[in-house]
Chain A
Amino acid sequence: MALALPEAGRYFARSLKQSLRLMVGLPDYDAYLTHMAATHPDRPPMSYEAFFRERLEARYGAGKGRCC
């Protein structure tokens, strides 16, 4: 309620984009980078392309079923 209108719009657009990407199995890359920087500063994070490939294999590789 307290959000100003432009801010609410930005939140909505960001959420929509993240949600659409997550629908096809791609979590937020920025969140991944933040996580890596916070917990594994010693290891280089995957590039976006490598991250994309890794997630693609994980989504379909293990044979996860979806609904009817």
Chain B
Amino acid sequence: MQTLRRHLVWLVVAVVGAFALGTVALTRGESVNALWVVAAAICTYLIAYRYYSLFIADKVLGLDGNRKTPAHRHNDGLDYVPTDKNVLFGHHFAAIAGAGPLVGPVLAAQMGYLPGLLWILAGVVFAGAVQDFIILFISTRRDGRSLGDLVKQEMGVVPGMIALFGTFMIMIIILAVLALIVVKALAESPWGTFTVAATVPVALFMGVYLRFIRPGRIGEVSLIGFVLLMLAIFGGQAVSQSAEWAPLFTFDGKALTWMLVGYGFVAASLPVWLLLAPRDYLSTFLKIGTIIALAIGIMFVMPTMQMPAITQFAQGGGPVWSGSLFPFLFITIACGAVSGFHALISSGTTPKMLDNERHARFIGYGGMLAESFVAVMALVAASCIEPGIYFAMNSPAALVGSTAQQAAQTISSWGFVITPEMLLQTAKDVGETTILGRAGGAPTLAVGMAHILHQVIGGQAMMAFWYHFAILFEALFILTAVDAGTRAGRFMLQDLLGSFVPALKRTDSLPANLVATALCVAAWGYFLYQGVVDPLGGINTLWPLFGISNQMLAAVALLLGVVVLFRMKRERYAWVAIAPAVWLLACTLTAGWQKIFSADPKIGFLSHAAKYTEGLANGVLVAPAKTPEAMSRIVFNDRLDAALCALFMFVVLSVLVYSIKACLAARAANRPTTQETPFEPAGTSAAAAH
């Protein structure tokens, strides 16, 4: 009776959640309020956390609260610090939440909000949160080692090296696609460009202030920085309305690309305290604040979902990205459902600060649920604006034309009725000259956020402010990621190349650092440029590559989980990791195969290249290329992308083979073969620490 009563309240949560999900899924013909979506998501998270994560904690992994964690074993007050679990939750969440959960769901909304919502919920419960939790657990039991080290330790040196190399390539693609989002948002937008450019002197000022004037006063300097940023938004408005200043901050995509490449190189070469660290403070605090503001905004405004639950593009042929629901939806929404990059965080700083092993459930599984909620909010924001506006912003000019008249006509013919006046009015509302061809997620999300937040604060007059606030907030942490990512890539590259040219390995040598930084910037800059000049908008090419690589890293992380469970002799529970790993392998390998070999030139890289080689052979210009040279470049880029895709497939397949071998070996052994740090009881005296 007692146990029954304990579950009663959860039964109520389950019933409410089921009812909300039913309302969202089954209502046809009338708009659904976003609160139903939010309710369905929250109830799903609560039930999953209460039951599934507890099952994983107790039965699958066997978390042991009496086991000493690395934070206690190696306590140094710096890297290894036993930390309150709520405090650590905030740290972990800030590290995993970035642009990913905001962009993917926006792009996926072209199929309607329902497929994306269902994948976000199912994905996080059974794959994403499980991955983060298991990796955090594995790393905590091994002194907080990194993913690469863990793969090396549990599977062998070769798969470890392969995983590291794969991580480097993923990093390059992520940087390119993030930079592309910024370019798409700032092209031909003097307001946005001025505001984002102003963040550089603001950050430099903060850096000097923190270093020399008031060392270490983070809170104070962040407040000053925040006020300056808000002033920069108003300054941007003034610039955009001035006939003399506006042209100075109006650039096309190509010019912005060169600036970003230059910025990436300089920023990654400067001392960290000058630009990177202060920018990081601003972007982290702004990110957390904006996420909370958006959540409050949605609760308060209760917007209705304008986008249909399912559109005709769920069958494929969508204008934002091509391909059918399976497998492409599952790689388009990565972060928010399951993201391999989190495995790097869960095996980074967090495991070194766990106070008690049992906290891994709240921080690993719970942290990912919180990120998933960010993805749900992004989906809501993208779905509560007029669908016609959504498609006008996200469809390439090659499909819908470059004027408001053409775009409105084409999009209305798809069944999303929109007039040219509405498109122009929306552009005016948000303080831009045009909203056409702004694929990439950030501008759409900004319009959605402005749509929600202006109803809370400021009214119609503040809509343009909120739009540029949202653009600034995304650009700010993307630029931080570009800077930090270029540095991280540089270190990886120096490590990799150092095996062949020992001089490059010295991270204290300025020429070696500059060479490695230049190589790194050139690598992502190349893909960025390719994306910017792509007539289909670039996102169509780069986002699938990012999605495939990121989900493949998730598959690698989950396979590591499977191997460790087998080695712990807990293989009867290994399905917890096997099931999502198999699903991710199926999605990514199918998507990779289709991206390479599909006969549809909109999907397949090789058939797209063939279209142009044929044209070259016959001496015909194939639109939108204007010269034979442009055509050969398209062919080269297509082949490069296909090769990259093949490389990712090779990485994941080889890790799969090594995993199976490791599992078979573990099964054959008659005792656990896992390589954990030996058990030490949690209660031993502090004198044991050093």
Q: Which residues of A contact B (CB under 8 A)?
A: 15-28, 31-36, 38-39, 48-49, 51-68
Contact = CB atoms under 8 A, between A and B. Distances in A.
A64 B348 contact: yes
A62 B491 CA distance: 8
B481 interface: yes
B687 to A, nearest CB: 8
Contacts of B488: 63-65
A60 B689 contact: no
Given A15-B84, A32-B78, A67-B97, A56 B273 contact: yes
A22 B71 CA distance: 15
A61 B574 CA distance: 37
B88 interface: yes
A66 B216 contact: no
B252 interface: no
Contacts of B349: 25, 64
21 contacts: A15-B87, A18-B83, A20-B90, A22-B83, A27-B77, A39-B687, A49-B215, A53-B215, A54-B78, A55-B78, A56-B273, A57-B272, A60-B280, A61-B272, A63-B489, A65-B485, A67-B98, A68-B334, A68-B335, A68-B339, A68-B341
B485 to A, nearest CB: 6
Interface stretch (B20-28, B281-289, B450-458): B281-289
A24 B284 contact: yes
Contact of B216 (A22, A25, A38, A48): A48
**Most chain A beta carbons < 10 A, residue from B76, B216, B345:** B216
Contact of A39 (B97, B171, B689): B689
A60 B77 contact: no
B95 interface: yes
Interface in B49-84: 75-79, 81, 83-84
B684 to A, nearest CB: 13
A31 B90 contact: no
A51 B489 CA distance: 27
B400 to A, nearest CB: 28
B277 A56 contact: yes
A36 B78 CA distance: 11
A67 B339 contact: yes
Q: What bracket does the count of chain B residues touching chain A fall in?
A: 35 or more
A26 to B, nearest CB: 7
Q: 5 closest Cβ contacts across the A-B interface? A: A19-B90, A63-B491, A32-B77, A52-B216, A68-B100
Interface in B269-295: 272-273, 276-277, 280-281, 284-285, 288
B86 A19 contact: yes
B276 A67 contact: no
A38 B689 CA distance: 10
B135 interface: no
Contacts of A31: 77, 81
Most buried by B among A15, A24, A65: A65
B334 to A, nearest CB: 8
A22 B94 CA distance: 9
B686 A49 contact: no
A45 to B, nearest CB: 8
B481 A68 contact: yes
Interface in B528-573: 546, 550
B478 to A, nearest CB: 9
Contact of B90 (A23, A48, A52): A23
A66 B339 CA distance: 12
A34 to B, nearest CB: 8
B106 interface: no
A22 to B, nearest CB: 4
Contacts of A38: 686
Contacts of A58: 78-79
Interface string B138-178: 00000000000000000000000000000000010010001
A35 B75 CA distance: 8
Given A52-B215, A65-B488, A20 B78 contact: no
